[in-house]
Every structure is written in structure tokens, then in C-alpha cells.
Structure 1
Amino acid sequence: MPAMAEARSNPVGIRNRSAPVLLDVLCAARQTSICCELSPEGGLVAETIESAEQQWRTGPDGDFVTRGLIDLQVNGFGGLDFNRGGITADRLDLALIELAKTGVTALLPAIITGSAGRMVRVLRELDEAVAASRLGPLMIAGYHIEGPFLSPEDGFSGSHDSAHMSAANLDLIDDLQRNVSRGIKLVTIAPEVSGAIEMIRVLAGRGIQVAIGHSNANEQQISAAVDAGVTLCTHLGNGLPQMLHKTDNPIFWQLADDRLTAMFIADGIHVPRPALQTMLRAKGHTRTILTTDAVSAAGINTGPGFYTLGAAEIERSQEGSVRIPGSSYLAGSSVTMDQMLRNMMAWYGLTVPVLVQLMRENPLHFIRTRQDPGPMGATDGVVEWETTADGPVVRRAHIGPFTVE
């Protein structure tokens, strides 16, 4: 971390730990509890102490501890637009503190469709802020590039600027990667655009995950994309027109392919609850990831009003939906990860171990590759939860040497 960054005082809401912290942490994959010691310096030592029959330890009030949640698609948060440019390290820290208060300890900021020059500049400026910030090097596990290799057709393009969409272009990916200190971990692409299949092969060969999104691909194109190395579906059920053929459509083809893991936005707005339940049954717990697709309008302390998403103005309504004013298409979400956890518990009765799988362990699989494992701190966070009448809420999060509460 640069020397001048070290000299800054911590932002409000974050403090350095002065003594070790001992916590029993839920590990959903092994259905065990892990005793974690968090040192003042941020080190983590873990030892399994529970049998497979006991999922995790709770406090006298039902409180519990989990490893930090991981969000693979965050466009902005807490009033900060990651796609706007000119981000300072201090302002980024404030947004990351707000994210940590929702249980997120690792994320992939998403850079959306724009001109090539704008995308390169925005990502470079964001990455500079990450490197100079306190929490950025610990929480930012890499980047998600969503566009410009998407369908420009109305409905499929969603809130992305179709004027800047293009054929697959590896030179742009190389330019984006050349300007950042940490890896591009995920690229969303429409398999039907020119050159997409070859790009998928190259990216997969580099260890970069590729997702289908904002796509009007047919069954054969989707299958060819998966054969070439696509592993994920970006916000499945969205980035589509309101009207589709009842069965012959990209949603069913992606749900049917067991090689694909689907990302869903569980806010009750992007996908109606009965439809989401059906999609979850199709993919199962092992092939499902929950993500927010959050924009600058998301956060504990944000509310209805006008915000930005890149060059576009967006509006958050009273019920929480976010759209470009005058458009019927959604422009990201205002939901938080902890709210999605409560939603899934209330709607479908999912347990905390299952939700940790969907919100931590499944996404972790896609960002910790042998070619580029990323910064260790980005996936080692720990979150303490308090049980309330409305469901679990975050009490505090431990990230590296810092505690956020």
C-alpha cells in the first residue's frame, strides 16, 4: 500500500483490531463449524472442531458467524458509481464499508458497456483507487467486464448503451487488463456476436470465467459457447425482452444445461418469486449463485432518487426498482446481500448453510483459479450475524486487520 495511504486515518465505521478474535465459523460445504483466530494483523488460523452432524454453533440468542459473502457483480454501492470515473481511495473505502455492513467481504466490481476508451479509463481509475485504499486490496478480488460484446437488440441490451456494443474484441480485453493491478476474473458475453466462440476459448484458456448474458443466442449457439468454455449465466431471467416464446428461449436452454451455474438476483423485482423458485429447482444448490447487480442506488443508507450508472442517469423508485427514467428496463438493483439472504429464508425456507453455499462457496469456486488465485484477503473475511424478528442482520465484519461495524 502506498505510504501516503498508510498515513490516512481510518474512515468512520472501520477500526483496526487490537487483540485476537476467536470465532466459530460456519462452513456449509462440510456442514461443520470452524474455530477461527483472527489476529490483529489480519491472519486467520482455522481448525475444524465440530462433527458433521452439528452444522454450526450459535449464541444464546441464535446469533451465528459465517465466512464473508462474495458478490460477483457490483456496479456501485452506497452512492458511489464504479462506472463513473474519478473515484478517490477515501470514497471507495466508504462504499466498501457499507458493503461490509451487508455481509460482503469480497466482490467483483462490474464495468459495463461503453466506448473502449471510456471503459479502459474507468477501470484504470477504479483500480488506482483500489490500490490506494484501505479495504480495496482486501475486498476487491478482481473485475467483471459486462459488455460491450452483448446483443444490441431491444430488450436484450437492457440498460446498456447499444451504440457501443461490438463484435468480440480480444484487444479490448487486453487493453483493460493491461491497465489494472488485479485480474479480470469474469467476462459476460452474448455467444451470438461475431467472434464470440473464439474469444470464449481464449479467455477460458487464460483462466478467466465467461458468462452468458444479454443474449438472444439460440440453443445451438449456447451449447457451442459452453463447449468452448462458458461456465456461468449472468443474472439469468434478466437482460431479456418482456415477451419471449413460451419454451423456445434462452432462459430454458441455460436452465437445461447442467454445465452452467446460474447467477440470480433475489430481490423479488428482477424475477418473480414463483419463477425464481422454479429456476432454483432446475439448477439446484450446487449450480446457483446469488448476486445483487447492485448500482450506486443500493445500500443501507440510500433511498429513492436519482443516481448514475456510467454515463446514464438512473432512478430508484420507492419500492426499490432501479430504471433509466422513462424506460421500462431495469438498470441494476438496489438490493443488498443480507436482504437477499433474509428474502430466501422467508420465501423458500432455505437454511443458513445453504445460503452460505449460494452466496460464498459457489462464487468462490469461480474466482479462485490456479492461474490467478487473487489476493488471499479478498476471500478470507468473517461476518458475525445477529438474529432478529425480521431475520439475520450483520453485527460486524472482519476483513484482514480491520473490523467494520
Structure 2
Amino acid sequence: MTRLETSAATDVRFFDLQVNGYASVDFNGDQLSSAELRAACEAMRGDGVEKFLATIITDDLSIMAARLQRVAAATASDELAHQMVAGIHIEGPFISREPGYVGAHPAAEARPATLDAAKQLLDAADGMVKLVTLAPEQDADGRVTAWLVSQGVVVSAGHCNPSLDQLERSIDAGLSMFTHLGNGCPLQMHRHDNIVQRALGLADRLWLCFIADGVHVPFVALRNYLRLVGPERAIVVSDAMSAAGKGPGRYMLAGQEVVVDEQLATWAADRSHLVGSACTLRQMSNNLRTKLSISEADVTRMTRTNPLAALSLASSG
């Protein structure tokens, strides 16, 4: 990049909708402290993040509730965290338990959506939940989706394999986003009738999120996706976990060991699947510029403007 381009790039203040942890801090850890959350915030601020959603993933409901309470309490007790944590993203537990679609989430804890469970989780988070990822097929009648939207929560499809009809019914109930498209699904699927194609076919009705590290979605595929979706409906998220901002090594996410290799791929201990991301949103924004030749205006749109707009749908809808 030229000096002017480098200066423009550093002016972007990112809004990240999906952060599981950062700089060796695991937001899903059962001993998360306000000091740890502040340390993660300081590292993110240094990497250009202005605000983010702390992400809590699938587990036993009581464990998830305790983690939500911990994040909420840690945020309230630290000024920097209060400034930067714009809310909480609950990813699960109302997701598919099918192999591939469940991803790194514990399949035994994936479950159908119920109003009681949704209320338990939202209550535990003390009003901080802004985004919930669920599988439309786990909320077949759309009742939980509609209720969440009525509470000011954006609902996103993810870790799922709904039919086109099921996905459209969820959109009619208020679902407005798709979480990390191209991931949370098996490596091998039907070559035409698959969840990626179904979501892309509804791009005019959904915000579509992507992890732009080149590992979760190869750049050749990401280029095609972004060309189809356009910068108007695309959002880039980091899906960062505790390895983000660090480097190769062994890290933790919600009790799982994650092995980070030299390419910053985040593998489960048995190398069967990826677990979160070790890349920062700044690194991903640089990928958009250098690997995909995305303009500075569109990088800003996908890493700041669109995430803000997507969340505002809940409060204005």
C-alpha cells in the first residue's frame, strides 16, 4: 500500500459482531475477570476495534447463563469494557447437532429453540444480548425468532441446514442475518442444493457475514461470494478466539483446546475442524485490500458501517 492508503487503513474503527476471545483471554472461560476483559479490550483497541460483541457459544444452559452473567458483570465493572463491549452475541444452543453443521459446538448441547430457554439466556445477560445465532430448522414455527426480535435482538441463521422454505419462513418471522457463511457446514455437501447456495439466493433479504482470513473461506471463493452479495449486504467478522493477536500455539475456547498453526489456522486438538479464528479484524481488512482488491470505502462498509446498520434493525424494527 502507498503511504496514503496505509493512513486511510489505520483510520478505520472496526465493529466486530463476533469475538469469542482475544489476546489469550477466553470470553467463554469460567473464570473470566474484569481485568482479563479489559486486557482483551486494550489489545483490540490497539488493533483498530472500536466496539464488538462478546460471543458466548453453545453449552449446557446453566453454564451458558453463568458465562453470560460473567461477561455482563465484567463489562459493567470496567470503564473501557463498558465503552467497547456493545453487547453479547449468543451463538447457539439452538443449532443443528448434525456433524459438520454443528461445527466446534458440543453436539450434545445443541437443542430445539424454546421460549423458556431463550428467556433464561437473555435474563442472565442483563439486557446485553444484541445478536442470537440459531438454526431455522430448530425453530420451525418461528416463535422464538419472532420473540427475540420483539426484544430488540437481531436473529441470524448459522450452524444450520434449513430448506429454502424453512429459511424463508424464518426471514418472515424476523431473521435478518447469516452467521459466517461458508462455515458451520460440512466440507462436502450437495454441489448445487446446499445451505451456502440457499443463503446466497436470499442475499437481498439478509446480511451475510464472512470470516476473511483465507482459511475459513479460501479467497477465490470469498471473491465470488462478495461479488454476488455486494458490499451493500456483506459483513466481515473475525470470529476471534483467545489466539487472536498472538500467534501459533495452544489456546482454549470454552474448555476446548485449540491448536494454532503457522498459517494461523485454528484447529481442534484432533485436527478434524476449525475452532474460531486467530486473525484480527485488521488483518482481515488488509486481506480484503491486498488479496481481493476491495476499495477502502467498501472495506469500511463491511467492517464498520454494515455491522452498525445490521444491529440497528432490531431497535428500529
TM bracket (short chain): over 0.9
Identity, % of aligned positions: 36
Cα deviation for residue 193 of structure 1 reads 1.4
Aligned residue number for residue 16 of structure 2: 71
Matched, 1:275 2:207: no
Letter in 2 for 1:333: S
Alignment of 1:215-226 (within 5 A): 215-226=160-171
Change (3 A) 1:256 1:194: closer
Aligned residue number for residue 338 of structure 1: 282
- The equivalent position to 1:357 in structure 2, one of 293, 301, 308, is 301
- The equivalent position to 1:290 in structure 2, one of 231, 236, 239, is 236
- The equivalent position to 1:262 in structure 2, one of 208, 214, 226, is 208
C-alpha distance in 2 between matches for 1:290 and 1:362: 9
For the 8 Å contact 2:22–2:240, the answer to whether it is kept is yes
C-alpha distance in 1 between matches for 2:316 and 2:67: 22
Letter in 2 for 1:205: S
C-alpha distance in 2 between matches for 1:71 and 1:266: 12
Q: Under a length normalisation based on structure 1, what TM-score does the superposition of the two structures give? A: 0.74
Between 1:85-94 and 1:63-72, the stretch displaced more is 63-72
Change (3 A) 1:326 1:134: same
Alignment of 1:151-170 (within 5 A): 151-170=96-115
Matched, 1:184 2:129: yes
Q: Which has the higher contact order (CA 8 A, sep 6+)?
A: 1
Letter in 2 for 1:267: D
Query: Aligned to 1:145, what secondary structure does the other structure show?
Result: strand
Letter in 2 for 1:350: I
Gaps of 5+ in 2: none
Aligned residue number for residue 149 of structure 2: 204
C-alpha distance in 1 between matches for 2:280 and 2:83: 20
Matched, 1:126 2:90: no
Alignment of 1:87-106 (within 5 A): 87-106=32-51
For the 8 Å contact 1:213–1:235, the answer to whether it is kept is yes
Cα deviation for residue 345 of structure 1 reads 0.5
For the 8 Å contact 1:295–1:333, the answer to whether it is kept is yes
Aligned residue number for residue 213 of structure 1: 158
Aligned residue number for residue 197 of structure 2: 252
C-alpha distance in 1 between matches for 2:231 and 2:5: 28
Change (3 A) 1:92 1:62: closer
Query: What do the CA deviations read for 1:95-118 (whole angstroms, capped 9, x no partner)?
Result: 111111111110001100000010
C-alpha distance in 1 between matches for 2:136 and 2:314: 25
Aligned length: 314
Query: What do the CA deviations read for 1:251-289 (whole angstroms, capped 9, x no partner)?
Result: 011011110110000000001111111110111011000
Aligned residue number for residue 403 of structure 1: none
Between 1:60-69 and 1:321-330, the stretch displaced more is 60-69
- The equivalent position to 1:308 in structure 2, one of 219, 229, 252, is 252
Aligned residue number for residue 177 of structure 2: 232
For the 8 Å contact 2:52–2:86, the answer to whether it is kept is yes
Aligned residue number for residue 384 of structure 1: none
Between 1:244-253 and 1:172-181, the stretch displaced more is 172-181
Change (3 A) 1:129 1:144: same
RMSD: 1.9
Query: Aligned to 1:192, what secondary structure does the other structure show?
Result: helix
Q: From the two aligned structures, give the one with the greater strand fraction.
A: 1
Letter in 1 for 2:293: G
C-alpha distance in 2 between matches for 1:156 and 1:352: 33
Structure possessing the higher radius of gyration over alpha carbons: 1
Letter in 2 for 1:135: L
C-alpha distance in 2 between matches for 1:210 and 1:122: 20
Change (3 A) 1:132 1:278: same
C-alpha distance in 1 between matches for 2:269 and 2:135: 26
Flag as ranges the 4+ runs of structure 1 deviating above 4 A.
Answer: 58-62
Letter in 2 for 1:210: V
C-alpha distance in 2 between matches for 1:126 and 1:62: 34
Letter in 2 for 1:97: E
For the 8 Å contact 2:139–2:145, the answer to whether it is kept is no
Change (3 A) 1:325 1:59: closer
Change (3 A) 1:69 1:183: same
Gaps of 5+ in 1: 1-57, 374-405
Change (3 A) 1:188 1:357: same
Aligned residue number for residue 52 of structure 2: 107
- The equivalent position to 1:86 in structure 2, one of 31, 47, 54, is 31
Q: From the two aligned structures, give the one with the greater helix fraction.
A: 2
Cα deviation for residue 179 of structure 1 reads 2.7
Aligned residue number for residue 264 of structure 2: 320
C-alpha distance in 2 between matches for 1:59 and 1:159: 40
C-alpha distance in 2 between matches for 1:128 and 1:351: 39
Change (3 A) 1:284 1:127: same
Cα deviation for residue 62 of structure 1 reads 5.9
Aligned residue number for residue 311 of structure 2: 367
